[in-house]
Amino acid sequence: MTTHADVVADTLRRAGIRYVFGYPGGQNVRFIEALHGSGVQFVLVTHEASAGFMADVYGRLTGRPGVCLSTLGPGATNMTTGVGNAWLDRVPLLAFTGRMGQKWQGRTVQMQVDHQALYRPITKWSTTLTAGAVQETIARAIDIAIAEQPGPVHLDFPEDLAEEPSEESLGRPGAVLSGRARGATVDESALAHIERLIRTARYPLVAVGLSMNRAGVAATSALRRFLVANRLPVVSTMMAKGQVDDPSVDFVGVLGRARRDLVADFCQPADLVIAVGYDPVEFNYEEWVRADLPIVHIDTVRADLDDRHVLAAQLVGDLGAATERLAEISGVTHGWDLSALAAHRRRLYRALTPDWPSFSPHHVIEVLRRSLPDDGLITVDVGAHTHLIAQLWETRGPANLLVSNGWSSMGFAIPAAIGAKLVEPERPVVACTGDGGLLMMAGEISTAVRLRLPVVFLVFRDRFLSLIKVKQDRRQFHRDGVELFGPDLRFGDSLFGAPVRTVGDPRAMEEALRQALVADGPTVVDATVDPAEYDVVL
Ligand SMILES: Cc1ncc(C[n+]2csc(CCOP(=O)(O)OP(=O)(O)O)c2C)c(N)n1
């Protein structure tokens, strides 16, 4: 007998999906049983938010929707934090929630809330699977999830439907991925107008954003050709950094992060902003572009800009096609002093690496960079350490740094690293997290132990929610609610069986990383740092 749950499992497999990350309730057991042996592996996590984060990373790295699963009510609410990440970081994802049988709809029932109302604000579509339309609904959900801008779709899966026999035949043609929905044409008149604007500007500045991460390697290289041929200075958001922080490119720095004032100083003369794949969800135009400074917006969706700002032109559509055409523009003359750019980069580096006597966050970042191979991938949590990593870390490639920045959720890095290691087992993967982020997601270290995943969990252990402490200190407020634990707290030698290596200086950290990067299971590198430098580097 083929159940509706079998049909779901088969449809996911045929869409090329290999994992469902989740935390079950009684309502999901038939679905999990259907996944058994189906080619789609169920990965148990320790909190549903992690299931969403892992599915998000699966979506980022593969371009196919990541899939997560929870039970109803509290499982569904827990999972929203991870699903929201895919919503604001623009990642294709399918979120399945179990539900009571159809006869209980609208009744007062233990654990039951309105899942559609819960998921509507953080998904592109929220619906319920129904008999006879399972393959069609999932195929549509996948198309919606991957269409620009990508995002999550929520699918409620009633318990009785999962159990019932289905009339749908497995592997029915036409019910699988129909491919990424992308237009490949370029609006010629907008492009010609943009080229005129670039050629007449005296100080054209390029800004790159996270949509470029979805445009593929050919688009990255076309963008770089355009930048190199014309020697145009470029800024980026944190998520897009890997697109352009390359020695071949005139990279100024990351917007809105550590020592943003120095980046802004260099950009001061700009008289045109050419924004490529710039998604304001990471950092609004209004936060850094003067109202009189014209903006050219090239993205998959229209610009979100207030009326005081000048949108000089916009080119909306496929970024692969747009960047290819930009790469044809050469011989742009401008007034930027590129020797001043080299001096600016040195000044920025010095400002981010103050001569500090104690073991400090920037030392941790430098040791990690020296220790991690070029193809290494880091996932980054949210906190003071994030600001410093954003500006200081050399990414050495577009898909080497994963962070939650549209959603900006603490707790991302640990599950994200687990998801990344499952998708790309050959690459070294390091999760960089504050101690606050660690405490939120510590349970997932047991997931890495169970799956025997050699992930390095690098903790910036500074005892505080430093980003919030810095904000309190600057306003001379009390340091209430930001101290996580006292100086004497010890992590112990292992966490759920993963060795913990506590380090307090660069040499010890280098040695700990050397061992962790060749280990056959997870390691926690517990870097005890002095957060004092955050007062000057942020
Ligand atoms: C889920 C969530 N809760 C709260 C915040 C607000 N927040 C941003 S950074 C931060 C402090 C992070 O502390 P920690 O993980 O120790 O990193 P640190 O700032 O010390 O580097 C907080 C509370 C958030 N972004 N996400």
Q: Alpha-carbon distance 421 to 424, whole Å? A: 5
Beta carbons of 452 and 519 less than 8 angstroms apart? no
Pocket lining: 361 vs ligand 1, CB cutoff 6 Å:
no
Q: How far is CA 120 from CA 149, 248, 412, in A?
A: 16, 44, 22
| pLDDT confidence band for 175 (50 / 70 / 90) | very low
Residue showing tokens 């006597």:
357
Beta carbons of 332 and 199 less than 8 angstroms apart? yes
Average pLDDT score over residue span 229-242: 98
Q: Is the pLDDT of residue 181 over 90?
A: no
Q: Which of 364, 410, 485, 528 to mutate to test ligand 1, by most ligand atoms within 8 A of the CB atom?
A: 410
Pocket lining: 388 vs ligand 1, CB cutoff 6 Å:
no
Residue-range domain boundaries for the chain: 4-163, 188-338, 353-537
Q: Which of 83, 362, 365, 382 to mutate to test ligand 1, by most ligand atoms within 8 A of the CB atom?
A: 382
pLDDT tens digits for 340-373? 999 999 999 999 999 999 999 999 999 999 999 9
Residue showing tokens 């990383």:
513
Q: How far is CA 286 from CA 130, 209, 291, 295, 509, in A?
A: 45, 15, 8, 11, 41
pLDDT tens digits for 66-122? 999 999 999 999 999 999 999 999 999 999 999 999 899 889 999 999 999 999 999
Q: Is the pLDDT of residue 125 over 80?
A: yes
Average pLDDT score over residue span 56-61: 98
CATH number of 4-163: 3.40.50.970
Pocket lining: 408 vs ligand 1, CB cutoff 6 Å:
yes
Question: Residue 371 corresponds to which tokens in the numbers above?
Answer: 């220790």
pTM for this entry: 0.97
Average pLDDT score over residue span 191-197: 98
Interval between CA 477 and ligand 1 midpoint (Å) = 18
Average pLDDT score over residue span 515-520: 98
Nearest CA to ligand 1 atom 8: 383
The pLDDT value given to residue 180: 45
Average pLDDT score over residue span 161-169: 95
Helical ranges in 353-463 per DSSP H: 361-371, 384-392, 413-423, 435-441, 443-450
Q: Alpha-carbon distance 523 to 309, whole Å? A: 49
Interval between CA 389 and ligand 1 midpoint (Å) = 15
Strand extents, DSSP E, 221-353 = 234-236, 251-254, 272-276, 295-299, 311-316
Beta carbons of 115 and 154 less than 8 angstroms apart? yes
Beta carbons of 436 and 410 less than 8 angstroms apart? yes
Q: Do domains 4-163 and 188-338 have the same CATH topology?
A: yes
Interval between CA 530 and ligand 1 midpoint (Å) = 17
Interval between CA 440 and ligand 1 midpoint (Å) = 10
| Residues above pLDDT 90, as percent of the chain | 95
The CATH topology of domain 188-338 is Rossmann fold (3.40.50)
pLDDT tens digits for 394-411? 999 999 999 999 999 999
| pLDDT confidence band for 169 (50 / 70 / 90) | confident
According to DSSP, residue 358 is labeled S
| pLDDT confidence band for 522 (50 / 70 / 90) | very high
Interval between CA 466 and ligand 1 midpoint (Å) = 8
Nearest to 466 by CA among 360, 372, 377, 384: 384
Residue showing tokens 């060749």:
518
Beta carbons of 309 and 158 less than 8 angstroms apart? no
Instruction: Give the ligand 1 atom nearest the CA of 438.
Output: 15
CATH number of 353-537: 3.40.50.970
Instruction: Give the ligand 1 atom nearest the CA of 462.
Output: 20
Pocket lining: 385 vs ligand 1, CB cutoff 6 Å:
yes
Pocket lining: 407 vs ligand 1, CB cutoff 6 Å:
no
Pocket lining: 389 vs ligand 1, CB cutoff 6 Å:
no
Q: Alpha-carbon distance 299 to 212, whole Å? A: 8
The pLDDT value given to residue 179: 46
Beta carbons of 440 and 404 less than 8 angstroms apart? no
Interval between CA 55 and ligand 1 midpoint (Å) = 22
| pLDDT confidence band for 184 (50 / 70 / 90) | confident
Pocket lining: 466 vs ligand 1, CB cutoff 6 Å:
yes
Q: Is the pLDDT of residue 174 over 90?
A: no
